[in-house]
Amino acid sequence: MLLVEATWKEVESHLADSRAIVMPIGSVEQHGPMGLLGTDAMCAEIIARRAGEIGGFLVGPTLALGMAQSHLAFPGTISLKPSTLMAVVEDVVASLSNSGFQQIIFLNGHGGNVATVTTAFGEIHAQRSLQHDPDNLELALKSWFDLPGIRRLLADMYPSGHGSHATPSEIAITQHAFPHAVKQVALDPQTAPDGRFSDAHDFRKRYPDGRKGADSSLAKPEDGAKLIEAAAQALAAEMTRYGKT
């Protein structure tokens, strides 16, 4: 069930059975010449919604904006500062906890969110510990590409050219879900350089078309369908540990 398509009465009765919710979280940032700006938010939302259908758990609205400072030199990127994202996560958790949710699982589509969201969890737990809050609150962040079995599937699907940004896997997922938005663009070089970077200026200098280590042209919608199903099944299996779903 989608939270935004439910009434408060439906959520109240759902809470009698399960206190778990999945919150998709992504980013709006450049994804190279072929990838959509919304790729990370789209991937998290698509997989979370499919997993919710399989597992019968509640899926909240997607937090579409994330911490994307390193992509700010490309037009269209919208980034929250780490401090802003931490405040957003803290307020979302406080609201859901106030409703009675005790297991809040963020399904993530953007590696750049991990450090900030994990630190926000630390702040929340620290405050609750200091206040001797007796309610157990479980917080988890799961990136779809780190769900059980997915790295293996990615290695099989893309023996080379997967890279770490504007990857064919994330682009394939959006191609399957949003066929009207598929972009066919020649890539030069075919596989982008990879390595380190510091700030947004440095990122664009080192990776001029926005890709990192990826050959985005390997993306195929049919592979996107396989990835969505595999990640959704893996997330649904993970959710069985959070009480009745």
Site string for Ni ion, 67-106 (x = CB under 5 A): ----------------------------------------
State the minimum distance, in angstroms, from the CB of residue 21 to Ni ion.
23
Q: To the nearest whole angstrom, how small is the minimum distance from the Cβ of residue 170 to Ni ion? A: 5
Number of residues this chain uses to bind Ni ion (CB under 5 A)? 3
Per the CB < 8 A criterion, the answer to whether 24 and 212 are in contact is: no
Burial degree of 210 (CB within 10 A; 0-12, 13-18, 19+) = buried
Task: Tell whether omega for the bond before 33 is within 30 degrees of 0, i.e. cis.
Answer: no
Nearest residue (beta carbon) to Ni ion: 40
Which of 14, 165 has the CB closer to Ni ion? 165
Alpha-carbon distance of 114 to 112, in angstroms, equals 6
Strands 20-25 and 103-108: parallel
- Are 177 and 162 in contact by the 8 Å Cβ rule? The answer is no
Q: What angle do CA 57, 91, 58 make, to 5 degrees?
A: 5
Q: Which is nearer to Ni ion, 23 or 42 (CB)?
A: 42
Residues of span 31-50 touching Ni ion by CB under 5 A: 39-40
CA-nearest of 176, 188, 178, 167 to 224 is: 176
Q: Using CB under 5 A as the criterion, what x/- string covers residues 154-193 for binding Ni ion?
A: ----------------x-----------------------
CA 219 to chain centre: 18
Shortest distance, position 111 Cβ to Ni ion, whole Å? 7
- Cβ of residue 182: shortest distance to Ni ion, in angstroms? 16
Least Å distance, CB 98 to Ni ion, is 32
Name the residue nearer to Ni ion (CB basis): 170 or 238: 170
Binding site residues, Ni ion, CB under 5 A: 39-40, 170
